[in-house]
Amino acid sequence: MIRLAKCFTKAAPGLIVIAGLGNPGGKYSNSKHNIGFITVDQLAERHGIRISKLKNKALIGEGKIAGKKVMLVKPQTYMNESGRSVRDIVNYYNVDMQNLYVIYDDVDLPMGSLRIRKQGSAGSHNGMKNIIYLLGKDDFPRFRIGIGADHERIPLRDYVLSGFDKEDLHDIRNAVIRCVDAIETALSDGLEAAMLKYNINTKKPEDE
């Protein structure tokens, strides 16, 4: 008996989906919560990929990085429902979990830091919680960029939706560049190589 679900999938062997999380609209474009969008845009600019096609509730762009076919994804569902878009793309293209990279902000990491993990919980991030809930899996790579957090002075929601302070811009720009470099390394040399280099090495690009 033919399974109907197969009729609505498009095989794309080896496709790497790189999803940066954020909120759509100019109001949020430079907010801390949009660091995923910002990083994907930087990756697209570096590799001449245009993110302009609206599909599966996301803006997407397709191209090649390090010889690998990639799809850059910016979900347009708002942060807390990021999983709706990511799930649709994963299901439609039959994407392996190890080929789903998710980039997002993390209030539990120091401002401007970068941590890469193969799998794990969502922590306090609602967008990741929604992705894991709708996929029913958490065994996919994630690239977390630290945005710090002043929980005592500013409510968390207000903090993540606010822009970066002037004194943080240097560190956050470097973090974005390092995250793009790390993704390139993961694509060319594997995730382990990226983790070894970028989870430990804290030097800024200009220091290398």
Q: Which residues contact 110 (CB under 8 A, 6 or more apart)?
A: 146, 148
Q: Record the tokens describing residue 48, joined without a space.
A: 């001449």
Q: Record the tokens describing residue 40, joined without a space.
A: 């994907």
Clarify whether 33 is annotated catalytic. Answer: yes
Cα end-to-end distance, the chain, whole Å: 59
- Counting every residue, how long is the chain? 208
Catalytic residue set: 33
